[in-house]
Amino acid sequence: MNVTLRQLKIFEAVARHLNFTKAAEELHLTQPAVSMQIKQLEQAIELPLFDQVGKRISLTEAGEELQRYSRQISTQLLEAEQVIAELKGIRRGRLNITVASTANYFVPRLWATFRMQHPGVMVSLNVTNREGLIRALAENEADLVIMGQPPEDMDLVAESFMPNPLVVIAPPSHPLCDARHIPLQRMKAETFLVREQGSGTRSLMERVFAEKGLEPSTPIEMSSTEAIKQGVEAGLGLALLSVHTLEMELALKRLVVLDVEGFPVLRDWYIVHRAGKRLSAVAQAFRDFMLQKTTDIVHVPEV
C-alpha cells in the first residue's frame, strides 16, 4: 500500500470534520488540494473512504478502519518526537527568551503549549521594548528574541512567523468611528497616546506620519501599552498599536479600529538570534515550534 504520512494527516482531518472545506481550513490548504489527496489515497488503497449523499459525507467501512490506524500512527509519531527530544537534551533544558512588550500578549500562550510537550523545560522570559531587545542581542543575553522589526545593521538570523498588523484605535464614542477612508492628514487634529522613546511601535508611528510630512500634535507619552489602551478608552486620545495587544478590547468593543488611509500597516513578527550563535536543543526546538505552530495557536484579529 503506497500511502504517505501527509495523505494520512489530510484524511484524518477530513474524517474528523466529515467536511472537506473545514479540513482544508484547518490544514491551510485549498479544498481542491484536499480532495485530490483523498482521491489519490483512495486509488492507493483501491477502496472508497467516504460516501457522499447530497452534501453530507460519511466514512465507509474502509474509511473507519483507516481512521483507527491513522490515529494510532499520529500517537506513535508524537511519542517518537518526545523520545527524540529527550535524546537531544530538550527534556531538562533551560531557555532565555527576550520578547517585545507587544509580543508579550501572545508568547506566554505559545510557551504554555510548548511546555505541555516538554514539561521539564525551564524558561526565563524577559519583556522589554525594541531598544532593550537590540541591547539583549548586542550583548548576547538571550537565546532567542521575539520582535517586530529586526535591525538591519546587525548580523542576525531573523525568521518571520506571523503577520503583525498595526492599527489606529479610538474609543467607541469617537466621531470618526463610522467614517470610511479617513485621510492620514485628518490625524493631525487628534491627540495621540504614544509609547516611550525606544519603543518599536513608537518609531513605526513616527515613520508612517513623517512619510506624509505629519507630526501628531500634543502627543501624550506612556511607557506601557496597557496604560495607552486605558487612556484611549477613557477618551484621552487615539493610539497606534499592534492588533495583538487589542484582542480582548476589540472583542468586547471597548475600542474601535479606525479606517485610516494607509492602515493597517502590515508588518511581521520575527524570531531572531545572532548569526553564528549555536542554539541549544531547547532553543532550536522552541524556534521550530514557533515557526510551525504559532498561527494554529494565536488568532490574528481581523481588521
Task: Determine phi and psi for 65, rounding to 5 degrees.
Answer: -60, -45
CB-nearer residue toward ligand PGA: 30 or 223: 223
CB of 129 to ligand PGA, least distance (A): 4
CB of 300 to ligand PGA, least distance (A): 16
Which stretches of the chain bind ligand PGA, using CB under 6 A?
100-102, 129-130, 147-149, 195, 199-201
| Radius of gyration of the CA atoms of the chain, in A | 24
The DSSP code sequence of 209-222 is: HHHTT---SS-EE-
**Residue 19 or 149 having the CB closest to ligand PGA:** 149
Tell me phi and psi for residue 123, to 5 degrees: -125, 150
Q: Closer CB to ligand PGA, residue 53 or residue 266?
A: 266
Tell the smallest beta-carbon distance from residue 177 to ligand PGA (Å).
Answer: 25
d(CA 277, CA 181): 46
**Among 219, 220, 163, 213, residue whose Cα is nearest residue 183:** 213
Q: How far is CA 194 from CA 173, 235, 274, in A?
A: 20, 14, 30
Nearer Cβ to ligand PGA (100/260):
100
Taking the least distance from each CB to ligand PGA, the nearer of 15 and 99 is 99
At residue 283's C-alpha, the angle toward residues 247 and 155, to 5°, is 90
Cβ 163 to ligand PGA shortest distance, Å: 14
Minimum distance of ligand PGA from residue 155's CB (angstroms): 18
43, 98 contact by CB (below 8 A): no
Of the pair 64, 196, the CB lying nearest ligand PGA is at 196
Q: How many C-beta atoms lie closer than 10 Å to residue 80's C-beta?
A: 10
Task: Extract the C-alpha cell encoding 234.
Answer: 477613557
Please state whether beta strands 156-170 and 144-147 pair in parallel, antiparallel, or not at all (unpaired): unpaired
Cβ at position 212, least distance to ligand PGA in Å: 20
